[in-house]
Amino acid sequence: MPEDKRNDPRLNFEIKVIHNGNRGITKDVSLNGTFIKKNEYIPLLPIGSDISFSFYFPSIKKHIDVKGLIVHHGNNKNGMGIWFKKTEERSKVFIRRFISDYRLVREEKRSSNSL
C-alpha cells in the first residue's frame, strides 16, 4: 500500500457533497482534502482531473465550494481522493472549526461514557 502523505489528520465523517448537480457523500475529510465515495451519480473521474464540488451542511444550511485535484481512487476504485487546490480562506476556517468541534464533542462523549 502506498505511503500516506497526509499532513493533516482526517475526520472519518460522512458529509453530503454536490458535483454537477449530483449528490454524493464523503468517507472522510481533512483541512487539505477529502474522499468522495463512488456512487451511481458521481462517477470516477481520471486521476489528475480537476473537480469542483460543494460540501453541504444541512444542519446550518451552508454550502462550502471547493476546487480540487483527484489524486487517487482508493482501494478497489471505491471513490476519489481529492486534494483541495483552491479553497477560500473562510471556507478553510469553517472546515477547520467543523473538524475541531466534532473531535471535541466526540472526546467529551468518550469521557462521559468512561465515568
User: Would you kindly state where each structural domain of the chain is located, as residue ranges?
Assistant: 16-113
pLDDT above 50: residue 57: yes
The rounded distance, in Å, linking the Cα atoms of 78 and 39 is 9
pTM: 0.80
Q: Report the first-to-last Cα separation within the chain, whole angstroms.
A: 39
Q: Which residue has the cell 502523505?
A: 5
- Using CA atoms, how far residue 70 sits from 13, 60, 62, 93, 104, in Å, is 19, 28, 24, 22, 30
Helix/strand/coil for 96? helix
Helix/strand/coil for 1? coil
User: For residue 99, what pLDDT is reported?
Assistant: 79
User: For residue 48, what pLDDT is reported?
Assistant: 97
Mean pLDDT, residues 46-70:
88
Q: Which is more confidently placed, 108 or 42?
A: 42
DSSP secondary structure code for residue 11 in this structure: B
CATH number of 16-113: 2.40.10.220
The mean-pLDDT minimum among 78-87, 89-98, 100-109 falls in 100-109
The mean-pLDDT minimum among 66-75, 86-95, 103-112 falls in 103-112
Mean pLDDT, residues 79-107:
82
